[in-house]
Structure 1
Amino acid sequence: MGSFSIWHWLIVLVIVLLLFGKGKISDVMGDIAKGVKSFKKGMSEDDDAEKPSIDHKPSEPVRTTEEKTRTT
């Protein structure tokens, strides 16, 4: 009752080919490939959008209200 023999897999393959046909299986595989490519493209676009721009100017130090009142 363990794994299936080669004959079981061949019968399953023949039934699948009869039900879906050779053309439909290749169309489905092509659609899956297009989906994977568009998913990868979308993920790479998200990565590009999330990259922060680098500002080379030094920022001013944050001053507390106590420091502001002391300097004025």
Structure 2
Amino acid sequence: MGGLSWMHWLVVLVVVILIFGTKKLGNVGSDLGKAVKGFKDGVKGEEDKPAEPAAQVADKTTIDVEAREKNKV
């Protein structure tokens, strides 16, 4: 009386496929996989992120120097 047999699960699976269709169920599986991958990437944290490229650092330094020079004049 307590558990469901494999025949019950088969009937439930057929009803779910009839209601939602196989395409929508495939999309749900794909979306779930992307969500899990995003969660894993988020758990890794910021220590695994690549460092800022040297060109961007040099550009910021140049802009700061130019701003200081303008303030002196």
Higher helix proportion, which one?
2
Band the TM-score falls in, shorter-chain normalisation: 0.5 to 0.7
What is the total number of aligned residue pairs between the two structures? 48
Kindly report the root-mean-square deviation, in angstroms, between the aligned alpha carbons of the 2 structures: 1.5
Partner of 2:44: 44
Identity of aligned residues (%): 46
Moved over 4 A (4+): none
What's the CA shift string for 1:14-69, capped at 9, x where partnerless?
A: 000001111111110100100110111112134x17xxxxxxxxxxxxxxxxxxxx
Which structure's CA Rg is the greater one?
A: 1
Gap regions ≥5 residues in structure 1 = 50-72
Alignment of 1:1-72 (within 5 A): 1-46=1-46, 48=47
TM-score, normalised by the number of residues in structure 1: 0.59
Structure 2: gaps (5+ residues):
49-73
TM-score normalised by length of structure 2: 0.59
